[in-house]
Amino acid sequence: MPANYRADGRYPAIVVGGSLTAVKEMMGGIYAAEMAKRGYIALSIDYRHYGESGGRARQYEDPEAKAEDHAASVTFLASRSDVRPESIGLLGICTSGGTVLYAAARDDRIAAIASVASHLAEPAVTNPLLYGGPEGVEQRRAAGRTARAEYERTGQNRMIPAYHNSDPSASHVGPMEYYMDETRGGGVIEWTNAFAVMSWEPWLAFDPIRETGRITTPALIVHSDGCALPDQARKAYDLLQGPKTLHWTDGNHFDFYDGGKVPEAAHAVAQHFGKYLA
């Protein structure tokens, strides 16, 4: 809540989502607090299947369902007497930076969106790059189909690590200091470092670039050459159809989660929302 919050007031509001497998106590909570400092009601969410939210298939990644969760969050905020329903925005960090594009392409109640250090996938371009070429992509799809069949037959939800510095069985392998460091994301007790194997098919179909050309909602993209897929961020910006701003800066990807780039990114986001949620 804003520092000057009054129960009889009416405020602009922002829904905030984080990275793949993230819970609301991670980067989403950090940015929600930054937005509250700047006068917004901000709601950091646990998507279904994660954290305190429901969903029997835990750690299951479903981009379409996540977009629905944003719509449900907008409905919830719009029902509150302290929120101006015409002044609700979405803020996504990393994977959610793509998810908010899904939501904005489908829901005209959303007044503005912002994406920070976004994972802006495009299957034909990014899947072979990230997952070992066409053969690696198909191996993962096949593993996902097998795991889905097992889940439907037995209820067993097979997991692999979501992030690891070197374990090739993880869904994301590489320098993952934010998730490996127990003083950072890795120490958030509500978070589970696991990826449901049956998520592979919906995850590999994640395509926010496809959605971008349908978006007329005012949009901000905050990114850098040190963030994930910088060329995809530029591509998304070019495809946006409405008022748009590209805030290009420096810094590494995880610096935008809980590090030194958060104040700059939060300031840019607040300025953007201040223009369109006023």
Enumerate the domain spans of the chain. Answer: 11-276
Q: Give pTM, 2 decimals.
A: 0.97
Neighbours of 124 (CB within 10 A): 8
Contact 62, 55 (CB under 8 A): no
Which residue, among 28, 14, 183, 192, has the nearest Cα to 95 in the 3D structure? 28
Cα–Cα distances in angstroms (integers) from residue 48 to residues 25, 59, 253, in the given order = 15, 9, 25
β-sheet bridge partners, residue 244: 219
Residue 67: predicted pLDDT: 98
Question: Measured between alpha carbons, how far apart are the two ends of the chain, in Å?
Answer: 17
Residue 188: predicted pLDDT: 99
What is the distance between the alpha carbons of residues 39 and 82, in angstroms, rounded to a whole number? 13
pLDDT tens track for 212-266: 999 999 999 999 999 999 999 999 999 999 999 999 999 999 999 999 999 999 9
What is the distance between the alpha carbons of residues 170 and 157, in angstroms, rounded to a whole number? 16
Residue 154: predicted pLDDT: 98
Instruction: Please identify, in words, the CATH class of the domain defined by 11-276.
Output: alpha beta
Contact 18, 28 (CB under 8 A): yes
Cα–Cα distances in angstroms (integers) from residue 148 to residues 160, 163, 172, 277, in the given order = 14, 21, 20, 42
Neighbours of 93 (CB within 10 A): 29
Helix ranges restricted to H, 38-193: 63-78, 95-106, 123-130, 133-154, 177-180
Amino acid at 65: A
pLDDT tens track for 56-70: 999 999 999 999 999
Stretches in the chain below the pLDDT threshold 50: none
Residue 278: predicted pLDDT: 83
Contact 191, 22 (CB under 8 A): yes
Residue 31: predicted pLDDT: 99
In sequence order, the 6+-apart residues with CB closer than 8 A to the CB of 95 are: 17, 18, 19, 20, 22, 118, 119, 206
What burial class does residue 152 get, using C-beta atoms within 10 Å of its C-beta: 0-12 exposed, 13-18 middle, 19+ buried? exposed
